[in-house]
Amino acid sequence: MKINLDDLWIPATTALCRGYVFAGIGVNASNHPDIQDFHLPLLFKRSPVPFSVSAEVLAHYKRDFRAWILGNAFREIVMGLEVSLASAFAVCCLARQKSQQRVASKKEAREFNQAGVDRKLEILERDFGITIPDRRYIASLNKARNCLSHRYGLVSRPDCTESAPEKLVLQFTRFEFVVTSDDSRESIVPHDAIAPVQLEAGGIFQIRHVEVQKEFNLGSMINLDPADIRDIIHTVELAIAKLREAIIAYFTRQGITVKEPPPPER
């Protein structure tokens, strides 16, 4: 039996790329001041909304469009990850069957297939010892996705976190670029920089991986800047890589040899 473990993650990585592109197009369009026409480009128009609206109403349209785009981008990422996790569960069951002669029951398969992404990760840890420290990031992303998809980003009771019942807490990681001068002063490049940043000459350049926590109070709107969206998607990308490593480690523990593909030629 041969299993290509890299194929498991094609749905997740494809969805990740699609989510990034969709979020980028949507955010750029909603932020662009010159985009004001919301009617379809047809000669004969039949519109359920007025042909012209005030600047305030247009800003409201664009805000809701941004939330809708983000909700769908995050939904794309979560659903792609769920498809890959289903394949991961199947190959782990096969590995356990080969090493322990234990066949997964229909009840186990049904439990996994009916679970959401958070629960799927819990089951992989419970049944196979496949764990990643990034699981809480996926869970908080899923909460934000639910809020954006079902409530247009308005934080309600179902969105709040158990540890903070009056808030939606979104956790993710980002790279922090730091220059430490000769006299030990730190200069941190702004995470949302869009133009080159001039720093003092000399010193030591470092890249740190830091955790970010954004809190949105009950009744407030989820508001993410482009850098937040970029870093949330990168956090999921790192989680996928760690899941791949954890599944290879599980196969190794079961006495199954995993052949890694040769490095690409340079």
Instruction: Return the closest-CA partner of residue 170 out of 236, 117, 232, 243.
Output: 232
Residue with tokens 């979104």: 170
- Name the token pair of 77: 């990422």
Q: What is the value of pTM for the model shown?
A: 0.87
Give the tokens for residue 250.
């599980």
Question: What pLDDT shows up at residue 45?
Answer: 77
* Residue 1: predicted pLDDT: 60
pLDDT tens by residue, the chain, 266 residues? 677 778 889 999 999 999 999 999 999 999 999 998 888 888 777 888 888 899 999 999 999 999 999 999 999 999 999 999 999 999 999 888 887 778 888 888 999 999 999 999 999 999 999 988 888 999 999 999 999 999 989 999 999 988 888 999 999 999 888 888 777 777 777 777 777 777 666 778 788 889 999 999 999 999 999 999 999 999 999 999 999 999 999 988 888 877 766 666 66
d(CA 234, CA 228) in angstroms, rounded, equals 10
Q: Return phi, psi of residue 71, to 5°.
A: -60, -40
Residue pair 168/155 in contact by the 8 Å Cβ criterion: yes
Instruction: Tabulate helix, strand, coil % of the chain (nearest 5).
Output: 55, 15, 35
Q: Check residue 266 and give its pLDDT.
A: 60
